[in-house]
Amino acid sequence: MYIVMLGAPGSGKGTTAKILAKKTNLPHISTGDIFREQIKNQTELGKLADSYISKGELVPDEVTINMVKVRLSEPDTKEGAILDGFPRTKAQAEALDKIMQEQGKQIDIVPELIVPDQIIIDRILNRATCSNKECGAIYNTKYKPPKVEGICDVCGSKLVTRTDDNEEAIKNRLEVYRANVQSLLDYYKEKKVLLSITPKDPTSESSSEQVADEICHFKEVC
């Protein structure tokens, strides 16, 4: 089962993808996490990616596509994977289909999370993530704060905020998303794999669990 998570930055697709990964035992492939690791290690790819990401812009297709192709060739993706953060344009979706076809695979479901922009902005401005990559727990200091300020409830590691989580960059990222998403949605709608989901209460702690359950019931994903 190969799943592509769609939704604006901060819509909750990453948290939902992590929940789905546990329910399905499929690897969660986040292009954003991979890029941030490269940026942290100050690799050439990381420096290049940061020059775009820090301004809320998309990393060039050829860089992202090659990275995803390599990741999807790894053994743990043989039975499926959950893609989070890619594709973001129709061109990337077409490139992904080509990669999948070369490996005898196909995209089975594309959940799209629909959340109002103002809730997204508020959510991202108050977002904190566990610095332990193996954990990756996400908190909202307003709606879902950790028990101890700045410390992850799960593993005790320090919580960090992204350098591009400021209002100007968030609005720019939303504009970039809106400018590219319609052709992408049309592409997957035509393939009959698109599942649009509007969370009943996107500020609720259980929102991502509810969304994951809805995805699970579609095509018997879980």
Residues classed as catalytic: 13, 88, 127, 162, 173
Buried b / exposed e along 157-194 (16+ C-beta atoms within 10 A): bebeeeebbeeebbebbbebbeebbeebbebbeeeebb
DSSP state of 76: G
The rounded Cα 200 to chain-centroid distance in angstroms is: 20
Look up residue 174 and give its two tokens.
Answer: 């939303």
Question: Hey, what are 112's tokens?
Answer: 């799209």
Q: Look up residue 60 and give its two tokens.
A: 């060039």
The answer to whether the beta carbons of residues 207 and 215 sit under 8 Å apart is no
Q: Please give the DSSP secondary-structure letter assigned to residue 151.
A: B
